[in-house]
Amino acid sequence: MSQLKIDTPSPVVFSKRSPIYRQQAGALFAERDGAAIALQVTDTESRAQLQQSALLDLSATFRSGVRGRTASQWLGQQQLPLPAQANQSVTTRDGELVLRLGNSELWILGNPLRDNSTLAKQLQSAPASAGCYPLSCQHSHSWFVLSGECRSAVMAKLCGVDMRESVFGPGALAMTSVARVSAIVVSHELQGVPVFSILSDCTSATYMWQALLDALQEFGGSDAGIASLLPAN
Amino acid sequence: MKIMQCPLNGPRNISEFVYGGEVRQMPEPNLCSDEEWAEYVFFHDNQIGLVQEWWLHAPSGYWFIAERHTATDDIVRTFDPSELFKERVEFAPNPEVSAA
Amino acid sequence: MTSTRLPAPMGLLIDRDQPLGFEFAGQRYQGLAGDSVASALLANQRWLLSRSFKYHRPRGPLTMAGQDANTLVQLPDEPNALADRFPLTAGLRVEGQNYSGSLDNDRGAALGLLGRFLPVGFYYRTFFRPLGVWDQWEKFIRKTAGLGHADLNFKPQYHDKEYRFYDVVVVGAGPAGMQAALTAAAAGVSVLLVEEQSLLGGALSYHQFEADGESTRAQREALITQVENAPNIDVMLNATCNGWFTDNYLPVIQGNRMHKVRARECIVASGAYEQHVVFRNNDLPGILLCSAAERLMSWHAVKPGQRAVVLTGNDEGYSTALMLHAQGVDVAAVVDLRPELHNPVLAQALAGQQIPLMQHSTVFEALATKGNKHIRGVDIRRISGRGQVDSHSTLIDCDLLCMSGGYMPAYQLLCQAGAQLSYSDERCAFSLSKLPDHLHIAGSVNGMHSLDKVLADGVRAATQALVNLGLSDSVAEPVTCDRVVNPEWPIFPHPKGKEFVDFDEDLQAKDIVNATKLGYRDIQLVKRFSTVGMGPSQGRHSALPTARLVADATDRTVTETGVTTARPPFHAEKLAHVAGRIFSPYRQTAMHHRHLEMGAQMMPAGSWQRPAYYGPAVERDRRVQEEAQHVRSKVGVIDVSTLGGIEVRGPDAAEFMNRIYTFAFLKQPVGRTRYAVFTNEQGVVVDDGVASRLAEDHFYVSTTTSGADAVYREMTRWNAQWRLDVDIYNVTSAYAAVNVAGPDARKVMEQLVEDVDLSPEGFPYLAYREGTISGIPARMMRVGFVGELGYEIHVPSSYGEALWDLLLEAGKPWQIRPFGVESQRLLRLEKGHIIVSQDTDGMSHPGEVGLEWAVNRKKPFFVGCRSVDIMMSLPQKRQLVGFRLPADSPRPKEGHLVLRGDDVTGNVTSCEYSSTMGGIIGMAYAAVQDATPGSHIHIRVDGGKSVTAEVVSLPFYDADNARQEL
């Protein structure tokens, strides 16, 4: 587990912070893209638990976005794949996620399991183009991941869109209401574990985190860190 | 609970949407009479039949138009505003200014 | 008390090896696992379960299926539980309801003797004369009215909700429902089968369709096995579909969860409610519907009585009689309401068991034991006409009367969906038609009463559903059933009354007729005047006889008369189910916890939480004044992250701003801010903010906290029409923001801001600058809202908490201190700045609130421009003015009226005590004649007093605006 750092910083060491870092007080953290990400919350966490039912906070991870007439051209210039249709996502070779929200809004989510500073630098220094406007999704939205087999059943308690695998498989994306808050739900995989990424307004992040945890309980799930997902060496 | 077909996001519970008023033709604000303007602002036809309405899909911020029957409440079709609004809209200048 | 049960195959639900002890009305009993409270009590020959609503008559079970309200009992933490549905548990303590004294000896029964003085609707004409008498009556009525008591100390259990999605949902798991589910499932679709009871089968689980019931049992088992083996059929037992909503949206309540089920196709196989016969004393304990007796025997193996009479208008009653006889009950007679013999085979079966059959007869009166506690016999008469009988009585002793007055379809869900009921005079029954698309009907609810037709109807409905889903080309053959199961007129008024049409509301036949005589002819008015159908059973048994009686009394057909509107919920619904998990979103800024740590009293602002002031609540007034003073004399910091923020970018950004807001923006210089006022199409001020120009094609504009979403939506809706080349982006949550204000504000900024010239020349009033604070990218504006040297700092919200900490640290030498919303409101009031929707209302145009200077009429257009022109050219009626009062005056509150003689000319919009100004200051709408400074206005304050305030010019504080422009 070479990705684990021995010295685990506290989230407040960084000026950039997840809106819910306090909810995981006591966890072991690591630096991720200039903020702290939880590696491990309890001793008993395991990959098996994540495959069953767990909740992760990936808000520290780098993300950015663009939208406009020429957004898809700009994306191509960054050597990033464009999802074929509106409301779809694509996972890159390097484990990054490209979201196509509607027709011409594109978000790029870094790989939460590794450092994304190269990608961040590449995208931030890329020349702007007319008709392509940068977005502040790093700061406006929190990023939670609901993992495991029970994820569709958990969402069924919070969301009126059918998210069973048969109709909401990998690559599917929905902009909808979760626990009465607007959210983007993406179906994809993290290290082979099927997950839903939930991106919603950062100012209601604490509320959303509590709603998700509450819905998880029925399935024996709880929050966890990313360590169990890190690729073994 | 009614299902609304969002042209961008597909069928969704109507609770995801916000009504935005009828689609109406604005008279030229600087050229019409006071009476025409007041009618535009305050009067509604209120007939039985099909009306075109603005609807917003709140989670995605997407505005579209729905054609709805005011008696049966059937939503006959929904479509992108660009079907009706293709050209950039310009406003006639204020005649008092031009006259000066 | 011991109870003996009937031998198998009776007792589908019970476990004979699991006795359960329980208590009812203070007495101990024993039942079995699988009993309901009611079946356990009847097994112990305890029949008196409740007292009726008005007359406090003894009542016992009528349906044994939760379809009536005669069995309402009080549980330790829940009133009004249906004893015939509530499962028995060990040690359960149950009480009766609605009595004075004891359930068995209820003093309230005396009301029954006063029946003559309590005619239908009596309460509309009593209790209020002479004046004042109501206060006495109220106390009495409050005590006697109501059923059960609520424990106000109860702890709510966790309830929640769940969405489910199916191709086909079948409501009701009787033979029609199960068959429909199987037919649909065979085509591979996903099916949900919803059943109210705790077992599958419907009538197959209690009725005997042939002599010994063997074939019925086999049929039931076969269907259940198939249903259980079908992998694509989900079964929900003890689940009630409580309504039908648009597009087949079905709330299904099971346990503590409400399932919100969306069905592409829905098949309602809800069955039919067996009806009672209306005759005197038809409500006595010991009088059951035929199906109730069958349920009691089949499900719970309870013998319903020793000696029975069966009163029926259909062949089904004959089956009941034969079943009772087979289980050892002495059936003294079968009384058939119909004029002629219908079924010779069944008649012969009766004769074979020596059960007398009396054709074309009815029970005219049920005779009671002392205190009306149980039936002891019946007075049978031959029927001589519609609702009329011969004078010759045949008296038969009995302790059990089973009656079947026909059936009424369980129409509620279907009528909620818009289906219509029509009555056939030939069949004497209601049927349903005009179902909306994607909703189907099958089984006895559809008028099918032979088992083969019921099953065929299930197939037909499912086939139609499959055709709709595009999975079948079949033509769904219509199914018809000729059997007539309803007698024409099972209503026999008695001179002494007490022939109940509605058991819940204690309404007799004459009550219904009298309502029509008082002029209430429409069925909706009859319902509201008499309360028929308004009790817990919601007309399941009263709708049919009421429709017949009202039709007859008003000379109309029964179809024309109809039944009252069916509305959800279908069964009484707990608020906990509707509320569920209670999703109440709240929003917090990035600095939220710092406010808590610093002792802030938080207040809601829409869904946001904001600090009102810092310090204990008892010190509120002092703290607010101190915070304000501190800002005026040193430096304070307030979290303004909740303000809306919108980025307007693109070649048409300035043109867009120009069209949205009243001011001029085309020539706004880069690096400057400008006040932005938003009017609606009526010319009313609906929002305001500050617009910063970051570049030729880039504006960053703020909105009020509560206006953010609405302004953003209006902007995007307008541009969907205008098609300007602009991107409109709601960044409210992307930025955290603070306002650092006070004479020492610049000194604090100098400690932190790395790369911006903060001198008065380098960063003048109303300028916009970008820089960094400890590496955090910051947008900064000089604003004047509170009237001191002030900087608004906006940073990406992930840095908000760190920024706050840096400010408080850097500001220590100047005693920087946080201030909250309350002191900010006082500070801005001292400067005469309006707050939209506090100082403006639904009619305030810019001229009324001193904003003419912010309206540019040279430009071609802004939203509402023509309306503003019109409004401002009319004679003005009112004006928002500033006023003062001495510190010791009663303080006017927001909303207090401004009067000119007897005329209301306006109202107070803001008012506070200001220690800086040494008195009370405020803003109010006043008549234009009183708007000039020096005038006086009269304000009506609390207690009807009036104060006279002096109108002064605004601002109250620092008239030259020198302090904010330092």
Which residues of chain C have a CB within 8 Å of the CB of A160?
163, 260
Query: What is the full DSSP assignment across C822-853?
Result: HHHHHHHHHTT---TTTT--TT--GGGGT-GG
**What pLDDT score was predicted for residue C761?**
96
**What pLDDT score was predicted for residue B98?**
60
Nearest-CA distance A199 → chain B (Å)? 11
Residue B66 lies inside a defined structural domain of this protein:
yes
Residue B17 lies inside a defined structural domain of this protein:
yes
Which residues make Cβ contacts (< 8 Å) with residue C719, sequence separation at least 6? C656, C726, C728
Chain B residues 17-56 with a CB less than 8 Å from chain A: none
Ordered by where they begin, the domains of chain A are 11-60+141-229 (3.30.1360.120), 63-136 (3.30.70.1400)
The bridge status of strand C233-236 relative to strand C191-194 is: parallel
Low-confidence ranges of chain C (pLDDT < 50): 1-2
Q: What is the mean pLDDT of residues A116-121?
A: 96
Report the C-alpha gap between C403 and C114 in whole angstroms.
Answer: 29
Report the C-alpha gap between C50 and C867 in whole angstroms.
Answer: 67
Which residues of chain B have a CB within 8 Å of the CB of A176?
9, 12, 16, 59
- Tell me the CB-side half-sphere exposure of residue B84, using CA atoms within 13 A: 19
Interface residue C734 vs chain A (CB under 8 A):
yes
Q: Which residues pair with C415 in a beta bridge?
A: none
**What pLDDT score was predicted for residue C211?**
78
Chain C residues 623-652 with a CB less than 8 Å from chain A: 641, 649-651
Which residues of chain A have a CB within 8 Å of the CB of B17?
none
CATH number of the domain that B31 lies in? 3.30.2270.10
Q: Between chains, do B60 and A183 touch, taking CB under 8 Å as contact? A: no
Interface residue C161 vs chain A (CB under 8 A):
yes
Closest chain A residue to C160 measured between Cα atoms?
A157
Residue B34 lies inside a defined structural domain of this protein:
yes
**What pLDDT score was predicted for residue C117?**
77
Quote the tokens at residue C135: 């206060």
**What pLDDT score was predicted for residue C213?**
83
**Chain A interface, mutation test: which of B9, B15, B18, B57, most A Cβ atoms within 10 Å?**
B9
Which residues make Cβ contacts (< 8 Å) with residue C769, sequence separation at least 6? C671, C756, C763, C779, C780, C781
Q: Between chains, do A164 and C607 touch, taking CB under 8 Å as contact? A: no
Give the type of residue at C932: T
**ipTM of this predicted structure:** 0.97
Higher-pLDDT residue of B98, C949: C949
Residue B60 has its nearest CB partner, among A102, A160, A161, at A102
- Interhelix angle C175-186/C214-229, rounded to 10 degrees, is 40
Q: What's the Rg (C-alpha) of chain C?
A: 38
Q: Count CB neighbours of C371 within 10 A.
A: 13
Q: What is the mean pLDDT of residues A31-60?
A: 94
Single out the residue of C720, C701, C921, C951 nearest to residue C830, CA to CA.
C921
Single out the residue of C611, C607, C671, C641 nearest to residue C731, CA to CA.
C641
Q: How confident is the model at residue A233 (pLDDT cuts 50, 70, 90)?
A: very low
Interface residue B13 vs chain A (CB under 8 A):
yes
Nearest-CA distance B64 → chain C (Å)? 9
Q: Between chains, do B15 and A176 touch, taking CB under 8 Å as contact? A: no
pTM: 0.94
Report the C-alpha gap between C598 and C664 in whole angstroms.
Answer: 42
Interface residue A139 vs chain C (CB under 8 A):
yes
Residue B91 lies inside a defined structural domain of this protein:
no
> Are the CB atoms for A27 and A225 separated by under 8 Å?
yes
Q: What confidence tens digit (pLDDT) does each residue in B53-82 have?
A: 999 999 999 999 999 999 999 999 999 999
**What pLDDT score was predicted for residue C831?**
96
Q: How confident is the model at residue B95 (pLDDT cuts 50, 70, 90)?
A: confident
Residue B49 lies inside a defined structural domain of this protein:
yes
Q: Between chains, do C723 and B88 touch, taking CB under 8 Å as contact? A: yes
Residue B94 lies inside a defined structural domain of this protein:
no
Residue B45 lies inside a defined structural domain of this protein:
yes
All partners of chain A with 3 or more CB pairs under 8 angstroms: B, C
Report the C-alpha gap between B54 and B84 in whole angstroms.
Answer: 12
Residue B13 has its nearest CB partner, among A86, A103, A160, at A160
Order of all β-strands in the sheet with C400-404: C287-289, C400-404, C307-312, C330-336, C357-359
Domain count of the fold of chain B: 1
Going through C131-256 in order, the beta strands assigned E by DSSP cover 160-171, 191-194, 233-236, 239-241, 249-254
Which residues make Cβ contacts (< 8 Å) with residue A193, sequence separation at least 6? A47, A50, A51, A147, A148, A229
Report the C-alpha gap between C601 and C639 in whole angstroms.
Answer: 14
Which residues of chain B have a CB within 8 Å of the CB of A174?
9
DSSP B45: -
**What pLDDT score was predicted for residue A136?**
97
Which residues make Cβ contacts (< 8 Å) with residue C439, sequence separation at least 6? C244, C248, C265, C266, C268, C414, C417, C419
Q: What is the mean pLDDT of residues A132-139?
A: 97
Answer yes or no: is pLDDT of A115 > 80. yes
Residue C867 has its nearest CB partner, among B2, B3, B41, at B41
> Are the CB atoms for A42 and A54 separated by under 8 Å?
no
Which residues make Cβ contacts (< 8 Å) with residue C215, sequence separation at least 6? C209
Report the C-alpha gap between C75 and C81 in whole angstroms.
Answer: 7
Q: Between chains, do C799 and A15 touch, taking CB under 8 Å as contact? A: yes
Residue B92 lies inside a defined structural domain of this protein:
no
**What pLDDT score was predicted for residue C128?**
84
Write out the residue range of the structural domain in which residue B55 sits: 3-83
Single out the residue of B73, B85, B30 nearest to residue B49, CA to CA.
B73
Q: Between chains, do C860 and B81 touch, taking CB under 8 Å as contact? A: no
Which residues of chain C have a CB within 8 Å of the CB of A17?
590, 798-799, 801-802
Interface residue C656 vs chain A (CB under 8 A):
no
All partners of chain C with 3 or more CB pairs under 8 angstroms: A, B
Answer yes or no: is pLDDT of A61 > 60. yes
Closest chain A residue to B59 measured between Cα atoms?
A182
